[in-house]
């Protein structure tokens, strides 16, 4: 079974600074997908960024980028120029087509952005 | 991307009763899933809602407690049966066309008294 671990229950960053959230996972599969979801107090799960395991290039979406290290099974999220609206719970998640596309989530990291 | 709505958005129910949560997608999707998020916790998959057949449940979840229907490619329901305070959670529906593309509904916050 696949597992996802987020070792930072809480993180904080100053507005306009950069922060990195960590995620590691365990799998025996070679083809899979990794995601970062954001959950603000409204509880809506918002897809921030995704990475296909077969792609060597790290995904980027505006101020959000990932550092995907397949051999180390590491998938960190970097948020640049942090904004107050980035404050939320961030979940790392894994799925694959062979596992029925079911998402496995990490425990989450609560991000606080200080003005 | 798919737009997903859920009803109700929240409810307060008495123990021993049942609540049915609806999930509606604005386009046909291949996959629909139901997740539970207990207070202060991460998301846990309850089941995969299969169109035209019985749902596939994850370990620890059973059909008698969480019956699921999926009559077509855009709609699914989750019923939480014979509720107890331990069922107080946020219940989320997700849907997508492929493994790499899944979107979530706004969730249903359930409180059982």
Per-residue pLDDT reduced to its tens digit, A31-85:
999 999 999 998 899 999 999 999 989 999 999 999 999 999 999 999 999 999 9
Distance CA A64, CA A20 (A): 10
Window 4-23 of A: residues touching B by CB (8 A cutoff) are none
Cβ(B42)–Cβ(B65) below 8 Å: no
Q: Which residues of chain A have a CB within 8 Å of the CB of B96?
A: 101
Q: Report pLDDT digits (tens) over B95-109.
A: 988 888 889 999 999
Say how far apart CA B21 and CA A34 lie, in whole Å: 28
For chain B, the farthest-separated pair of C-alpha atoms sits apart, in whole angstroms, at 38
Spell out which residues of chain A touch residue B104, defining contact as CB-CB under 8 Å.
37, 44-46
Does the beta-carbon distance from A52 to B100 stay under 8 Å? yes
B52 confidence band (pLDDT: 50, 70, 90): confident
Q: Which of A14, A41, A11, A39 is nearest to A23 (CA)?
A: A11
A21: β partners: A77
Chain A residues whose beta carbon lies within 8 Å of the beta carbon of residue B8: none
The torsion angles phi and psi of A68, rounded to 5 degrees, stand at -100, 115
E-strand ranges in chain B read: 4-7, 10-13, 19-25, 31-37, 43-49, 56-57, 68-69, 75-80, 89-98, 101-104, 108-112
A56 contact partners, CB below 8 Å, separation of at least 6:
none
> Which residue is closest to B46 within chain A, CA to CA?
A102
């Amino acid at each position: 079974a696949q597992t996802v671990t987020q070792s930072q229950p809480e993180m904080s960053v100053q507005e306009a600074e950069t922060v990195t959230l960590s995620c590691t996972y365990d799998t025996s599969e070679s083809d899979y997908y990794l995601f970062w979801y954001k959950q603000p107090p409204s509880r809506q799960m918002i897809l921030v960024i995704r990475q296909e395991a077969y792609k060597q290039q790290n995904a980027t979406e505006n101020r959000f980028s990932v550092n995907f290290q397949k051999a180390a099974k590491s998938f960190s999220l970097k948020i640049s120029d942090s904004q107050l609206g980035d404050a939320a719970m961030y979940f790392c998640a894994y799925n694959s087509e062979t596992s029925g596309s079911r998402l496995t989530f990490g425990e989450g990291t609560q991000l606080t952005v200080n003005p | 991307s798919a737009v997903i709505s859920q009803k109700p958005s929240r409810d307060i129910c008495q123990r021993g009763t049942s609540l049915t949560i609806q999930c509606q997608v604005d386009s046909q999707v291949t996959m629909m899933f139901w997740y539970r998020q207990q207070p202060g916790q991460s998301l846990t998959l309850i089941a995969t809602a299969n169109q035209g057949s019985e749902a596939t449940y994850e370990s620890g979840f059973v059909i008698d407690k969480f019956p699921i229907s999926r009559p077509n490619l855009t709609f699914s329901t989750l019923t939480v049966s014979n509720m107890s305070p331990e069922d107080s959670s946020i219940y989320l529906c997700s849907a997508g066309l492929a493994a790499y593309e899944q979107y979530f509904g706004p969730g249903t916050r359930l409180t059982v008294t």
